[in-house]
Every structure is written in structure tokens, then in C-alpha cells.
Structure 1
Amino acid sequence: MSNGTINKVILIGNLGRDPEIRTMQNGKEMASFSIATSESWTDKSSGIRSEKTEWHNIVVFSEGLVKVVKDFARKGSKVYIEGSLRTRKYTDQNGSERYITEVLLQNFSGVLALLDSRNSAPSPDYKPSEYKQNETEQKNQYENFDSEIKEELIDDEIPF
């Protein structure tokens, strides 16, 4: 923060598909997936309920978080994400230049928590001893997270 700016994104959403795990040139793995966040409202004049969904591209470089994504995250999983925004340019299959904005989780600046971990089954590669401490810490840290968010959302719906 030496220049007085902050690039931080916090999202809670659901995976739209199973994560994609790739091995980079340096031999380390990375994970990518999309999550959906939704907001809904009721039009006061018509009473019609509407919903808007936004899709967010997530890229995980942190080795520990890649392992958690690989072993536990699945389509539909509810996740809490903290990362930074990055927009990059790439060339598509037709040779056109495109831009994509992603939420980047790397090193110590990224956070990922599975909010519905007790409902999801681990992959066949799961080794309980590798996660025992992380699961306990995560459970303690985010035990009341859902109820706190629900309380905030209820407060946001008050019409005054």
C-alpha cells in the first residue's frame, strides 16, 4: 500500500462448473473457475420480483488453495473469495485481441473458504491428514459467517 491504493475483491457465490486444474510451465498447478453472485429485488410499483446474476472468473495460484479447490470444490459449491482484480489481454482462436477481468488468488493475498463443505464429498485423492488443521481453523473462522451475512442482507432489505 505504499502508493495509497487498494485492489481487493470479496465475493460469496456458487461455482458454475467444476474447477479446471492446469499445470504451468514451472510445474506448479493453478485452478480456474467461475462463480455466480446474484441479487434480487421486488419492484415497488409492480410487485414483480427480479433477479440479476453476475459471473466472476477466479484464478488461483496459491499452492495450498489450489489443493483445496482440486480436492473439494465442485459445481454448485458455495465459496467465500478474497483476491485482487486483474485485467489481461489475450488473443482468441480467431486472432482477435480480447480482454478478460479475473479475481486473482495468489500467495498470501488470497483467501478461499468453502461455505458448504459439510455437504460436499472429497475427491478420491483426498488425504485427511493434509487438511485436519486447515479444516478446523476454517470451521472456527467461518462458523457463524452464513448467519452474519444473512443478518446483513435482512438489514439491507429494510425500505427506509
Structure 2
Amino acid sequence: MKSVNRTVLLGNMGKAPEFRTLPSGDRVANFSVCTTEKWKDRSTGELKEHSEWNKVQVREKGTVDYLERYAQTGSKVYVEGTLRTRKVPGTNGGDDRWFTDVDATLVNLLDRARESDSGPSQPESRPTPAPAEKPASRPRAVRSQPTGEDRSPRRNVQQEPNGFETDDALKDKPRF
């Protein structure tokens, strides 16, 4: 039987990512994501809320560079990855400590701000897409009507050598 280890988070970045360089020369980004769920208590009718803090680690070079350029405290962030649990031995004979992190494979900042050369970051401006044009209709070939009672009005239709009929109104239209 197959198994799945997939995590999806949508929340806010707790603080700007911390960057480290490993002995291999690879860079790693670490940050936390706060996810909050809200609900109404059935018995009291009171609005309740619970926040969960998740640690995230990013190893992919392009994503680390992306986070370094654009991530900041409070950014709305979407994260996909896998859960990784690690054990840290206790100090001075203490108990071992266990930590669960998200090893991110995809990070997307949803309210990304671009750095401008003129100073502080400006919200990204996106061009408004032009409305899509309605595609031109193409002439269609019309098959001859089967014999029998046909109550539809007939237009001036001519038979072509290939067995299809064409409408006189379509004669000047290009053929595809």
C-alpha cells in the first residue's frame, strides 16, 4: 500500500526568514507560518480561535533566493511540502526533544511586494488584462436534411461536389 506525506499551509509569515549557509555551500531558509482557525462555540455561541505555528525549511536554491528578495514579516504565504520529524538529544542527561518541521517544496507569497530602486518596497502592480475578443465564427457545412416531414424554413442552399450544402450567405467568407 502506498502512503502520502503531503502538507499544505496557508497563513501568515511569523517573521522574516532566517538564512543559513551549510558547509556544502547550499543555502537554507527557515521561517514560521501561523495558521488560524475560527469557529463559533455551539453551546455558548462565543466566537473562538486557535492559532498553530508551523516551522518551515526551504532548501531549493531558487525558492531561497525568492524568499530573500520578497519575504517579510506578516506576508500571506502558501506552502506545500512534507513533514519531517527530527530528534535532538537532551543535554546533561535530559530527555530527547522531538521537532516536526515542514520541508517545503513550493512557497508562494500571496501579497508579494517588489523592491524598487527608488526606496521602500512598493506593492506589485499588475496590468489589467484586456477583455477577450469573441472568436470569429467559422462557416459550417450543412448536411442535407433527411427525407420526411421537415418544418424548418429552407434558405437558398446549394449542393457542393463533396456532398455538403453551403448557404449563399457564406460564399464570401473564407474557408478553413
Which category of TM-score, normalised to the shorter sequence, fits these structures?
0.5 to 0.7
Moved more, 89-98 or 52-61: 89-98
SS at match of 2:51: strand
- The structure-2 alpha-carbon separation of the partners of 1:15 and 1:26, relative to structure 1 and needing over 3 Å to count, comes to same
- The structure-2 alpha-carbon separation of the partners of 1:100 and 1:29, relative to structure 1 and needing over 3 Å to count, comes to same
Q: Which has the higher helix share?
A: 1
Q: Does the CA contact (< 8 Å) of 1:71 and 1:123 recur in 2?
A: no
Q: Which string of whole-angstrom CA distances, capped at 9 and with x for unpartnered residues, describes residues 5-64 of structure 1?
A: 111101101111111000001011100000000000111231211100001000000101
Question: Hey, what's the Cα distance between the residues in 2 that align with 1:123 and 1:16?
Answer: 24
Shift of 1:104: 0.1
Which structure would you say has the larger Rg? 2
- Structure 1 vs Structure 2: percent identity of aligned residues? 40
- The structure-2 alpha-carbon separation of the partners of 1:95 and 1:35, relative to structure 1 and needing over 3 Å to count, comes to farther
Matches within 5 A, 1:8-87: 8-87=6-85
- The structure-2 alpha-carbon separation of the partners of 1:45 and 1:57, relative to structure 1 and needing over 3 Å to count, comes to same
The answer to whether the aligner puts 1:113 opposite 2:88 as a matched pair is no
Question: Hey, what's the Cα distance between the residues in 1 that align with 2:90 and 2:115?
Answer: 34
Question: Hey, what's the Cα distance between the residues in 2 that align with 1:103 and 1:48?
Answer: 32
TM-score scaled to structure 1, two decimals? 0.67
Shift of 1:69: 1.0
Unpaired runs of 5+ residues, structure 1, are 125-135, 137-160
Q: Which runs of 4+ in 1 moved over 3 A?
A: 91-96, 121-124
Which residue identity does 1:116 align to in structure 2?
A: D
Alignment size in residue pairs: 117
Higher relative contact order (CA 8 A, sep 6+): 1
The root-mean-square deviation of aligned C-alpha atoms, in Å, is 2.1
Q: Which has the higher strand share?
A: 2
SS at match of 1:4: coil
Shift of 1:91: 3.5
TM-score scaled to structure 2, two decimals? 0.61
